Amino acid sequence: MNTQTVLEVRNLHTHFFLRRGIVKAVDGVSFTLARGEVLGLVGESGCGKSVTALSIMRLLPRGGARTIQGQIWLDGTDILTHTPRQMRDVRGRKISMALQDPQTSLNPVFTIGAQLREALMRRLRAAQAAITQAAIAALRAVDIAAPEQRMGQYPHQMSGGMKQRVVGAIAISGHPDVLIADEPTTALDVTIQLQYLKLLKRLQQDTNMAILFITHDFGVVARMCDRVAVMYAGRIVECGKVTDVFAHPSHPYTKALIASVTKLKGSSGRLPTIEGQPPSLMDIPIGCRFAPRCPHAEQRCRDIYPPSFPINDTHTADCWQLAPS
Amino acid sequence: MRRAPWIPIVIMFVILVMAVFAPLLAPYSPIDQTLHDKLLPPVWVDGGSMKYLLGTDAFGRDILSRLIYGARVSLIVAALALTAGGGVGLLIGIVSGYVGGTTDAVLMRMVDAAFTFPAILFALLLAVTMGQGLGTLVIAISLLLWASFARIIRGEVLALKQRDFVALAQVRGCSSARIMITHILPNVLNIFMVLITLNIGVVIIAEASLSFLGAGVPPPTPTWGLMISDGRGRIADAWWISLIPGIAITLLVLSVNLFGDWLRDRLDPRLRQL
Amino acid sequence: MKRYIAHRLLQGVLLLCLVASIVFFVGRLTGNPADLMLPEDVSAEDRAALIQVLGLDGPLHEQFFIFVRNALHGDLGMSIRMRQPAVEAFFSRLPNTLAIIPWAILLAMAVGIPLGVVAALHRGGWIDRMAGAIAVLGVAIPSFWLGILLIFVFSVQLGWLPSGRMGGPSHYVLPVITLGTFLIAGFMRLVRSSMLEVMDSEYIKLARIKGLRESVVIWKHGLRNALIPVLTLWGVFVGNLITGAIVTETIFAWPGIGRLTYEAVIFRDFPLLQAVIILKSILILSINLLVDILYAYVDPRIRLA
């Protein structure tokens, strides 16, 4: 596998400055993504996964969200220093994103064809007919039957799964190096989910693009990803190869999450849960964020946030238990 | 939380005091004509005097006195029309929302029709056929209000219907009428009060417009709309006759609306769309 | 699409019948229209003669039958004051109103839409606050008074523009501003709120992910969706315009159908008023039908349903 790094996020902080306080949605996130690699970003809803994605795209919602610290290195330049104009050139072509909800991601008043052509026109400065051909090819690539007819249809005339594939086709139409997929299957039926994941995997292998795959589902991670980063309350607490993390989960939070997945599949009757609630992102504990829920928490966990301790050369976790004694 | 809008509240209060204590406050009769004092300008213009602070009109009537009495007419019409039109809208909204089905469909078609067709034309028709007067005016303006009240209240009732306490009352075997009165009505009163406040301005402008068009309370009763109409032909030599009552209407409507916005945000920020 | 239009057309015709019946019965049940036209000291014979001429002596249902039959033949009665068929009077005045209404709509759109969009994009900024002030003032100032104020400032004080009557282009300025201002506040508020909602939507996010220019994102993807609610409220705006035209034309002595309405009211010309209301309903309903078709064109969800 090619190990050249295509995206590196360093110490990213994105906060929401609201009237009632500061929400530290992303509070010191770092990771790297190699060319052609699929990295899963896993965590409960509200842990800052989506905000991380939107920070990288620099498409944070209006109303007080700001990235206040950190660097995002894409192909050797820090895109946080880009002007809006430079950022526009990057979007779609170097880095792109597939959104969560297919029902609302397509503009209801334009045809599928028009929305796809619009995306293609930026890459190919070609004649109208050529762009239309490229759009039809793009639809075919995402397994849409009779793409010629679909071109003239509006989003409301398609099923959810089909819309999601169109969103995918639009997202990768610029041949990006990096695709961020933000829970692309949560809004779909189970059978269609599987279909979509297979499609995504195939497209990834064909084009060798890197994917940052955001999900709350460890099963999807096992199926899709090479590496996984586990996020909790605005930080990545454990990161490593999927096989390593599944075999030796090292952060208590990861352990609990994986245990909950495997137990679900097993026959033990009780539904596993983690005691307690994640902390409010407005009032984050000074020490380890998981300490209030952690069965092994000691005083230093509550006082100081742990550094990343290596388990092997690709696997790290932020937990004091791993400190060499 | 936004601060209370003090200036609008003071303006509303002053106008309310003017309306209630008109006979005590007005320096002259609003109707009696003093022809040798006609067309005198306000005190701050050359030729004006302390005798008539805001000047006089073409019949020598004191503008200030007419303005004070005019507030009375505006507020009486507003109160009556809001009670009648708002009340009908409230009733239709509750019944339509709670009963649903065909009743709802028919009533809402009527509301749609009322929205398409400008009520002011009906108001003019009534003024001609029934003759000018307070009653006609109140009915005419009520026609302007009921549909928007009914539509919004109905929406609220539909939401309320899903709530547990309504289901519970149904299970207990309460009659529909009883549920509507004891469970639904108290829960829409908040929104009703906000609607009333937000519509005071609409009513005042409608009253002034109808008076201006000769379909309001008949002269010589002083109303602000009629005063503006009186001065229209004299805008070149006696601007104060028209412009002063217009400023009064604008100030009052502005104050009531700002107050209404504040009240709405305070009681229920969800109502932003109104 | 054809079914949709047919459905709307049928609705319009039904509504028109309803309006016409209401106008008829309100007129007959709240007094005898003949009394509106006669001096108070009229002799009993003269009154009876007029009642017979107007066909008001038969039973109500018979009168209604005659009214409907005549209406279907395009006869809505004679104007008392003008001594000509009311329909004729209406259509001779209609072009004058149609000469100002498009300009007023254009003015309202040219000011209201961009202002609403910019206010939404810079929420809380100075443009938004200014737009908010305009919206609040626009609702609070009675339009008939605004017209008089404009005359005072631009005709009387500055002497720049004529104060009334039809004439060259300069005669259009003040009536168009008065009528247009009537709509600007409503337009702007609506565009602002729907634009705020649209710009937070996922498809706007996707448009940006594609790397489209911000101007394309706003004016193509955003505005086209934001205008849909504006179109749905168009019926209300048309009604507002028709009533707004009554006061505007009255102030500026503009010989259109608005002024005609005013004349019918002050001269108690009941047949004329009755005809004007019915014809205006037809006008409003036709415009609404046109807008419904336009609406279907803009929103494919309706067109293809």
Residue C81 located in a structural domain: no
- Say if the Cβ atoms of C139 and B214 lie within 8 Å: no
Q: What is the pLDDT of residue B2?
A: 66
Tell whether B212 is within 8 A of chain C (Cβ): yes
Chain A CB contacts of C224 under 8 Å are: 109-110
Chain A CB contacts of C299 under 8 Å are: 108-109
Q: Give the separation between CA A291 and CA B215, rounded to whole angstroms.
A: 76
Range with the poorest average pLDDT among A235-249, B41-55, C127-141, C178-192: B41-55
Tell whether C275 is within 8 A of chain B (Cβ): no
Burial class (CB in 10 A: 0-12, 13-18, 19+), C201: middle
What SS3 class is residue A312? strand
The answer, yes or no, to whether residue A112 has pLDDT greater than 70, is: yes
- Say if the Cβ atoms of A91 and C200 lie within 8 Å: no
Tell whether C142 is within 8 A of chain B (Cβ): yes
Residue B106 burial (CB count, 10 A): 11
Say what percent of chain B tops pLDDT 90: 8
- Say if the Cβ atoms of B116 and C151 lie within 8 Å: no
Residues B23-29 have a mean pLDDT of 77
Enumerate residues 96 to 135 of chain C having a beta carbon within 8 A of any beta carbon in chain A. 123
In terms of domains, do C36 and C104 share one?
no
Considering only CB atoms, C139 lies closest to which of B117, B129, B257, namely B257
Tell whether C290 is within 8 A of chain B (Cβ): no
The domain tally of chain C equals 2
- Say if the Cβ atoms of C225 and A108 lie within 8 Å: yes
ipTM over the 0.90 cut-off: no
Enumerate residues 239 to 268 of chain C having a beta carbon within 8 A of any beta carbon in chain B. 239-240, 242-243, 246-247, 250-251, 261-262, 264-266, 268
The answer, yes or no, to whether residue B41 has pLDDT greater than 80, is: no
CATH number for the domain including C138? 1.10.3720.10
Q: Give the separation between CA A98 and CA A212, rounded to whole angstroms.
A: 10
Q: Give the separation between CA B241 and CA B57, rounded to whole angstroms.
A: 6
Task: Enter the tokens of residue B21.
Answer: 């204590």
Chain B CB contacts of C274 under 8 Å are: 125
- Say if the Cβ atoms of A108 and C224 lie within 8 Å: no
Tell whether C140 is within 8 A of chain B (Cβ): yes
Considering only CB atoms, C211 lies closest to which of A93, A100, A157, namely A93
| End-of-domain residue from the set C15, C44, C72 | C72
- The bridge status of strand A65-74 relative to strand A5-18 is antiparallel
Considering only CB atoms, C203 lies closest to which of A100, A105, A111, namely A105
Residues A78-98 have a mean pLDDT of 90
Q: What is the pLDDT of residue B5?
A: 85
Chain A CB contacts of C297 under 8 Å are: none
Tell whether B201 is within 8 A of chain C (Cβ): yes
In terms of domains, do C147 and C63 share one?
no
The answer, yes or no, to whether residue B92 has pLDDT greater than 90, is: yes
Residues C97-113 have a mean pLDDT of 90
**Interface probe, candidates C158, C265, C278, chain B, greatest B C-beta count within 10 A:** C265
Chain A CB contacts of C211 under 8 Å are: 88-93, 119, 122, 174
In terms of domains, do C209 and C293 share one?
yes
At A192, the amino acid letter reads I
Q: How distant is the Cα of A95 from the closest Cα of chain C, in angstroms?
A: 8
In the predicted model, what is the mean pLDDT of chain C?
84
- The bridge status of strand A178-182 relative to strand A95-98 is parallel
Q: Which residue of B has its CA nearest to C235?
A: B116
Residue C264 located in a structural domain: yes
Residue A306: cis peptide before it, omega within 30 degrees of 0: no
The answer, yes or no, to whether residue A291 has pLDDT greater than 70, is: yes
- Say if the Cβ atoms of C206 and A167 lie within 8 Å: yes
Q: What is the pLDDT of residue B274?
A: 46
Chain B CB contacts of C143 under 8 Å are: 209
Q: Give the separation between CA A46 and CA C118, rounded to whole angstroms.
A: 32
| End-of-domain residue from the set C72, C97, C128 | C72
Residue C272 located in a structural domain: yes
Q: Which domain holds residue C150?
A: 89-303
Tell whether C206 is within 8 A of chain A (Cβ): yes
What SS3 class is residue B206? helix
Chain B CB contacts of C265 under 8 Å are: 124, 127-128, 213-215
Enumerate residues 140 to 199 of chain C having a beta carbon within 8 A of any beta carbon in chain A. 199
Tell whether A44 is within 8 A of chain C (Cβ): no
Residue with more model confidence, A272 or A126 = A126
Residues C179-185 have a mean pLDDT of 86
Q: What is the pLDDT of residue A31?
A: 92
* CB C108, CB C180: distance < 8 Å: yes
What SS3 class is residue A318? coil
CA Rg value for chain C = 24
In terms of domains, do C180 and C62 share one?
no
Dump pLDDT digits (tens) for C246-288: 999 998 888 989 999 999 888 888 888 888 998 998 888 888 8
Q: What is the pLDDT of residue A262?
A: 67
Q: Give the separation between CA A34 and CA A26, rounded to whole angstroms.
A: 22
The answer, as to whether pTM is greater than 0.90, is: no
Chain A CB contacts of C206 under 8 Å are: 99, 105-107, 167, 170-171
Chain C CB contacts of A59 under 8 Å are: 205, 208-209
Dump pLDDT digits (tens) for C57-83: 777 788 888 888 888 888 887 787 788
Q: Give the separation between CA C99 and CA C175, rounded to whole angstroms.
A: 11
What SS3 class is residue B172? coil
- Say if the Cβ atoms of A156 and C301 lie within 8 Å: yes
Dump pLDDT digits (tens) for A48-72: 889 999 999 999 888 788 898 999 9
Neighbours of B (≥3 Cβ pairs closer than 8 A)? C
In terms of domains, do C206 and C236 share one?
yes
- Say if the Cβ atoms of A106 and C299 lie within 8 Å: no
Residue with more model confidence, C209 or C43 = C209
- The bridge status of strand A235-241 relative to strand A227-232 is antiparallel
- Say if the Cβ atoms of C265 and B214 lie within 8 Å: yes
In terms of domains, do C212 and C104 share one?
yes
Cα–chain-centroid distance for residue C291? 13
In terms of domains, do C136 and C238 share one?
yes
In terms of domains, do C32 and C125 share one?
no
Sign of the dihedral defined by the CA atoms of residues C164, C165, C170, C174, in that order: positive
Residue C144 located in a structural domain: yes
Residue C79 located in a structural domain: no
Dump pLDDT digits (tens) for B123-180: 888 888 887 888 888 988 898 889 989 999 998 888 888 877 877 887 787 788 888 8
In terms of domains, do C100 and C224 share one?
yes
Q: Give the separation between CA C61 and CA C69, rounded to whole angstroms.
A: 12
Q: Give the separation between CA B139 and CA B133, rounded to whole angstroms.
A: 10
Residue C28 located in a structural domain: yes
Q: How distant is the Cα of C155 from the closest Cα of chain B, in angstroms?
A: 9
Residue C141 located in a structural domain: yes
In terms of domains, do C205 and C56 share one?
no
CA angle A276, A280, A282 (to 5 degrees): 165
What number of CA atoms fall less than 13 Å from residue A119's CA on the CB side? 34
At C94, the amino acid letter reads L
Residue C77 located in a structural domain: no
| End-of-domain residue from the set C21, C43, C72 | C72
Instruction: State the SS3 of chain C.
Output: CHHHHHHHHHHHHHHHHHHHHHHHHHHHHCCCHHHHHCCCCCCHHHHHHHHHHCCCCCCHHHHHHHHHHHHHCCCCCEECCCCEEHHHHHHHHHHHHHHHHHHHHHHHHHHHHHHHHHHHHCCCCHHHHHHHHHHHHHHHCCHHHHHHHHHHHHHHHCCCCCCCCCCCCHHHHHHHHHHHHHHHHHHHHHHHHHHHHHHCCHHHHHHHHCCCCHHHHHHHHHHHHHHHHHHHCHHHHHHHHHHHHHHHHHHCCCCCHHHHHHHHHHCCCHHHHHHHHHHHHHHHHHHHHHHHHHHHHHCHHHHCC
DSSP state of A107: -
In terms of domains, do C245 and C122 share one?
yes
In terms of domains, do C103 and C222 share one?
yes
